[in-house]
Homo-oligomer: A and B are copies of this chain.
Amino acid sequence: MPRREEYVEISPSDFFYRNKDIAGFDNPVRATYMIVRELVENALDACDRAGRAGNIYVAFRGKGSGVFQVEVLDDGIGVPEDEIPKAFGKVLYSSKYVLRQSRGTFGLGGTMALLYGQITTHEPFEVCSSIGDGYAARYRLRIDIQNNKPIVERKQRIKVPPGATFTLVKLTFEGNYERAKGKILEYLKQTAIITPYINIVFRDPKGAIYVFPRATTKLPEEPKESKYHPYGVDVEVLKRLISETKTRNLVSFLSKSFQSMGRQTAIKVLKKARLDPEKNPRKLTDRELVKLVRALRSYDKFRAPDASCLSPVGEEALEKGIVKELRPEFVKVVQRPPSAYEGHPFIVEVGVAYGGGVPATGDIVLYRFANRIPLLYDAASDVAYKVIRKIDWSTYYVDPARTPMAVFVHICSTKIPFKTVGKEFIADKPEIAREIELGIRECARALRSYILKKIAKQRIVERYKIMRKYYEIISESLSEILGRRIDPTPVLKRIAKPAGEEVSENGEADNRENL
């Protein structure tokens, strides 16, 4: 008698609901921090997309017995009225599923925050947003978890000044602010470093206000949507591109659909794949698709992936961010040229700050950022940590155990190789490790010459003083032995200024550099 198992389908929101721990919502403390982070990141993305130096306001209100209401307001691009329910109330629905750098790679963090609020308090959440057409749409929403669908409880329109764009999200959840507080403030501080053009105001449940003012109004260039690089392609991607193309033959298809692919290159690739350049891409057999993918991947003369879809912070802006939050004695920021791993373009920005207000912890303080998001957990598993440990810092005349020192590593990419859905640390890809190392070493070299100059200038001044002291001893002892006075003046005059060394008149060296 055959037995039969029962088979069930579950919705994506149900899946993530059942496995909320893997997205970082595994306990009340962590969830409190994650909610702030996910909503602030969406707000930052909205500001970036609006193309202006935006403002973000985050406010907590305690409702008793561990329940909090959190409100996040930004003056970013806004969400269209008709997209609001799905954008916030449906998992795997987002504006982020394009080949362009954005903060939430998985596109589900914001909805997870709302879902967490709902399952802990059963309260609906509110979204109010305007895209600048003179009114704002205000929704009260819930998520139908089993069906991954938003439920609109109430909706209204509010008049706002034309051109005003904003988004306000308000949700209630059960959490633990007291124990999450440290991480939240550290997150906001580091966010202020990496997005120095955004003004952030934070109000905690006790009414204390923390302001992270902007240090510049200049925005980084907005990332562009980009075509695929041939190395990043598999059969599935190729099929999707073919289904979307309007071209009629393989040469045009390849040169239109891919980066760094002229007609000449396309012909070479097709020759490699033994495919007719005139063939209609839609007519490729399964076997031919595979051959084409292999040819695209093994052709070794493509330029590196186009990085115009990436949006690094920029050396000047990052330096401003660091100076404003840490006030170091010395700082150097380097932006590495674009590179790629596994077909994904990336840019590494590295900074080194030294002395002054850098926190003295007895070790290098590592600030990690990915697509302008600070990474706060699991630093020791991160590729940047491993790179720093590898470097012999004594080469650069610094002793991290004694001198306060901070290293900043920002990676931007269309695809950050996170190791977990929690997005906390970056995998050890050799290409990325290499760029981080080169960047750090360039900063460290600048730091070394700063330190060496500082030391050299101090030295010349000291030299004469020391010489004089020793010749006094020599003179005294010689006089004692020989029984007549030996005057050291003649020799002192001679050796006070050796060739190639100069003493400045007042003997003061100028230690301020790079600031």
Q: Taking beta carbons and an 8 Å cutoff, which residues of A are in contact with B?
A: 1-12, 14-15, 17-19, 21-22, 26, 49-50, 77-80, 83, 86-87, 90, 92-95, 97-98, 106-107, 118-123, 131-133, 145-146, 165, 234-236, 240, 286-287, 289-290, 293, 417-421, 427
Cβ A9 vs Cβ B92 within 8 A: yes
A2 pairs with B118, CB closer than 8 A: no
Residues of B within 8 A of A122 (CB): 235, 286-287, 289-290, 293
Cross-chain contact A234 with B2 (CB below 8 angstroms): no
- Central interface residue in A94, A234, A290, by most chain B CB within 10 Å: A234
A106 CB contacts on chain B under 8 angstroms: 15, 19
Report copies per complex.
Answer: 2
In the complex, what's the smallest C-beta–C-beta distance from A139 to chain B, in angstroms? 15
Pairwise interchain contact B97-A10, C-beta atoms closer than 8 A: yes
On whether the beta carbons of A80 and B4 are closer than 8 Å, the reply is yes
B290 touches A5 (CB 8 A): no
Chain B residue with Cβ nearest A143: B236
**A12-B12, A289-B122 known; A93-B5 Cβ under 8 A:** no
**Interfacial chain B residues near A95, Cβ < 8 Å:** 5-8
CB-based closest 5 A-B pairs: A2-B132, A122-B235, A5-B95, A2-B131, A9-B93
B7, B49, B90, B418: the one within 8 Å of A94 (CB): B7
A10 to B4, CA, bound (A): 32
A230: min CB distance to chain B, Å: 16
Q: Is the CB of B93 within 8 A of A3?
A: no
Q: A2-B78, A8-B97, A122-B235 known; 17 other A-B pairs, CB under 8 Å?
A: A2-B131, A8-B94, A8-B98, A9-B93, A10-B97, A11-B92, A12-B12, A12-B15, A14-B92, A21-B417, A21-B427, A22-B420, A119-B235, A119-B236, A120-B235, A121-B290, A123-B286
Residues of chain B within 8 A of A417, CB atoms compared:
21
In the assembled complex, the Cα of A107 lies from the Cα of B17 at a distance in Å of 14
Across the interface, which residues of B come within 8 angstroms of A8, CB to CB? 93-95, 97-98
Q: How far is the CA of A50 from the CA of B2 in the complex (A)?
A: 10
How far, in whole Å, are A417 and B93 apart by their CA atoms in the complex?
A: 27
Q: CA A26 – CA B119 in complex, angstroms?
A: 33
The CB with the most chain B CB atoms within 10 A, among A3, A19, A78, is that of A3
Closest to A165 in B: B2
Q: Which of A22, A86, A418 has the most CB of B within 10 A?
A: A22
- Asked if A22 meets B421 with Cβ closer than 8 Å, knowing A2-B165, A95-B6, A119-B234, the reply is yes
| A290→B119 CA distance, assembly (Å) | 9
Q: Nearest chain B CB to A391's CB is how many angstroms away?
A: 24
Are B7's CB and A93's CB within 8 A? yes
Report the separation of the CA atoms of residues A129 and B256 in the bound assembly, to the nearest whole angstrom. Answer: 45
Residues of B close to A6: CB separation below 8 A: 95, 98
Contact residues in B for A132 (Cβ distance below 8 Å): 1-3
From B26, B49, B120, contact of A5 by CB (8 A): B49
Specify which chain B residues have a CB less than 8 angstroms from the CB of A421 in the assembled complex.
Answer: 19, 22, 420-421
Whole-angstrom distance between the Cβ of A456 and the nearest chain B Cβ: 46
Name A45's closest neighbour in chain B (CB-CB): B5
B235 touches A118 (CB 8 A): yes
| Contact yes or no, A4 B131, CB < 8 A | yes
In the assembled complex, the CB of A18 is this many whole angstroms from the nearest CB of chain B, namely: 8
From known contacts A4-B131, A22-B420, A417-B21, infer whether A15 and B92 are also in contact, taking CB-CB under 8 Å.
Answer: yes
A5 & B80 in contact (Cβ 8 Å cutoff): yes
In the complex, what residues of B have CB within 8 A of residue A240's CB?
146
12 contacts between A and B (CB under 8 A): A3-B132, A4-B80, A7-B80, A8-B95, A9-B90, A12-B12, A18-B97, A21-B419, A22-B419, A120-B235, A145-B236, A421-B421
Which residue on chain B has the smallest CB distance to residue A237? Answer: B119
Distance (whole angstroms) from the CB of A47 to the closest CB of chain B: 13
A165–B4 alpha-carbon span in the complex (Å):
11
CA distance A95 to B3 in the complex (A): 13
Q: Is the CB of B49 within 8 A of A3?
A: yes
